[in-house]
Structure 1
Amino acid sequence: MKILTFISPSHENTSALIKALHSLFSASIKNTGSNPYGIAFPAIQSDTVGQLISVYCPEEVDVILTYPNILSLLSKKKVSCAEIKSISNIKPTYYRAFIRDRKLERGAPIQAMKRMMSSDKENKEQLAKALIGRYFQSPLPQINLSSQSNQRVFTLNIGVQDSHTPSNQEVFSFNSYGLSSYKNPMYLPVECME
């Protein structure tokens, strides 16, 4: 397994890279039924995913680097390739799952109001307030994106879960954003940032 790390100088460029990777990963799911490519954010903090985006590739990185949407971002210098490493060359200090946290997405004010309006429950207003309260209570690092199918703007909320042991899966399978879920976390080896 290889780790390809990109540097993105701005939030907009990070969004463009994630959108391009999502397009590639969605095609993989459509063609093979799964996505073996995982995304990690080595410099993630409580309020930002940071400027580094790593892609864990099951084989060679050419599939990523020659993908037209990513090639375009590289040629326009919106992102740059920082390094390519073999997973066997890193000494992980811990294992981390990067998770799409949809609970916050559902609690976003616009989505909460839509849910409230479509609900047939008598306590619609209380339900919406509870959802919105959850949204403001625990912010996570976010990436702003727009849906490829209907261009709806949304935020991809990134949660993390750490472990001292790797995932016991022999084959990794991530969602179309290269992330895992709380129900099925894919723990990737993480090297300490120096």
Structure 2
Amino acid sequence: MNTLTVFCGAKKGNRPIYIQAAQKLGRLAAELDVEIIYGGSSSGLMGAVADSALEKNGTVTGIIPEELKPQEIAHQHVSRLITVNSMHERKALMYEKGDAFVALPGGIGTLEEFMEVITWGAIGQHEKQCALLNVGNYYTPLEELLEHMVHEGFLAKHIKEKIVIEEDVEALLHKVNS
């Protein structure tokens, strides 16, 4: 794995463990010489991932729509900041550039981005690893929903089982990188 696309919130959330996990992911990715591809913001978990990777001399590429630059406060110190015209273009480029995908805690945008890559994998558009960093059990309700979808016959069990779900950053990176 040379690049890791990270989906996460432009907000910090209510618990310090979210920022700590984002920082650890950024540091470890840099130490593994894995480039971070992310949404380009300097705020929230996005900013924490980017700043931590940069502090360890990592490579970080931010991709941000022009309209969100003021709202998400575009990061001015990343290795590359790519400005695009729309959210659709942002997502397409993030997907294209990533060798694997991981979602940290975030809101509806994070969830939508992650579910789209899961969907694309399910219909055969890619074979890339998809992972949820379940820090503080943030994604436990989603994991339960996915199990419910399998139980109710709307999601194939093998698709759900492909999703790496880990509480520990190091364990997650190891599984995604193998």
Higher helix fraction (1 or 2)? 2
Structure index of larger Rg: 1
The structure showing larger relative contact order (alpha-carbon pairs under 8 Å, at least 6 residues apart) is 1
TM-score (norm 2): 0.28
TM-score (norm 1): 0.26
Higher strand fraction (1 or 2)? 1
